[in-house]
Chain A
Amino acid sequence: MTAVETTVHGDGHGHATNTGVSNEKVAMWAFLGSECLLFGALISTYLLYRGKSVSGPTEPADLFDIPFTSVSSFVLLMSSLTMVLALAAIQRRDEPRLRLWLLATALLGATFIAGQIYEFTAFVNEGLTISTNVFGSSFFVLTGFHGVHVTLGIVMLLSLWGLSARGKLPPEKSETVEIAGLYWHFVDVVWIVIFTVIYLVP
């Protein structure tokens, strides 16, 4: 007979699951697994249409500012560090540090988005829009979708910060921070792939 393990949710209510892991955490990992397919489709579409445009800016190398995007990538990478430090803080019951690291993560995410807006504006000024050619369409849809994910992550982080500031995110609810962190780290690993495949690979 299979043992049914007890998982305790953040609200302190015991809840039996077959896996011993809370349903919320399993759901987030299942969602992230499905997101691999979404971003895989967008990256594949970009690769399929790369070099196939016949009008407007067609060569990524002519447009991409690698040093600038490298700094943006570094900023997003470091936001993963501050996110994991936020989780470690709430697990230590250190709520002031939790709020500090949550705010730092949101600010780093906002910096990345500001960089993306600057980059998009520069591309539009160079004549590449979402409707210019298939290169523009696939590039803006891919990086735009990622940007929307980052923006949603920032909203989640600021919501957690607000809850903590009002005393509604006690250490017993650390799993809420962990689940938001999983989403944030996933957004980071997707960018690791996008940065390499779209910007760096010749």
Chain B
Amino acid sequence: MATSSDIAHDQEHDAAHDHPSDGRYVRIALVLAVLTAIEVWLSYAGLSSKLTTATLLIFAAVKFAIVAMYFMHLKFDNKVLRRLFVTGLALAIFCYVAYLSTMQVFP
């Protein structure tokens, strides 16, 4: 019968096996750095205000998702954790977008 330390070791092994390698983490960080550089460039590019805002928000959402999925391991972990976090995030987005719309913050 497996002891608790055996189970712990197996779980660590499984977790390490499922997660990306160090090299992949570095490549993901490079992607994040490039996306940040493009964001900064966009803010100086002189595009229309609405286009700049929309593009910047999409870039931020992509960076957020990459960090959450790969660095925080939501892509690989138990789905309960993903649901827990997404519930809080979705609630926050819904509440505050509704609030700011009510206060006519968006043009």
Contact = CB atoms under 8 A, between A and B. Distances in A.
A and B associate in one complex: yes
Interface of A: 6, 8, 12-14, 19-21, 25-26, 29-30, 32-37, 39-41, 43-44, 47-48, 66-67, 70, 73-74, 77-78, 80-81, 83-85, 88, 91-92, 171-172, 174, 178, 181-182, 185-186, 188-189, 192-193, 195-197, 199-202
Nearest to A92: B16
Given A67-B40, A202-B43, 4 more contacts: A14-B4, A74-B36, A193-B64, A201-B53
A199 B53 CA distance: 11
B81 A37 contact: no
A185 B71 contact: yes
Interface in B17-55: 19, 22, 25-26, 28-29, 32-33, 36, 39-40, 42-44, 49, 52-53
A6 B96 contact: no
16 contacts: A8-B8, A12-B8, A30-B88, A33-B89, A36-B85, A78-B29, A91-B12, A91-B16, A91-B19, A185-B68, A189-B63, A189-B64, A193-B60, A196-B59, A200-B43, A201-B52
B81 A25 contact: yes
B81 to A, nearest CB: 5
Contact of B92 (A37, A70, A92, A195): A37
Main secondary structure of the interface of B (DSSP, over half): helix
Interface of B: 4-5, 7-9, 11-12, 15-16, 19, 22, 25-26, 28-29, 32-33, 36, 39-40, 42-44, 49, 52-53, 56-57, 59-60, 63-64, 67-68, 70-73, 77-78, 80-81, 84-85, 87-89, 91-93, 95-96, 99-100, 103, 105
A4 to B, nearest CB: 14
Nearest to A41: B96
Contact of B26 (A48, A81, A92): A81
A171 B12 contact: yes
Contacts of B64: 189, 192-193
B102 to A, nearest CB: 10
B11 A83 contact: no
A84 B25 CA distance: 8
Contact of B84 (A30, A70, A185): A30
A186 B89 CA distance: 12
B84 A29 contact: yes
Contacts of B63: 189, 192
B22 A85 contact: yes
Contacts of B4: 8, 12-14
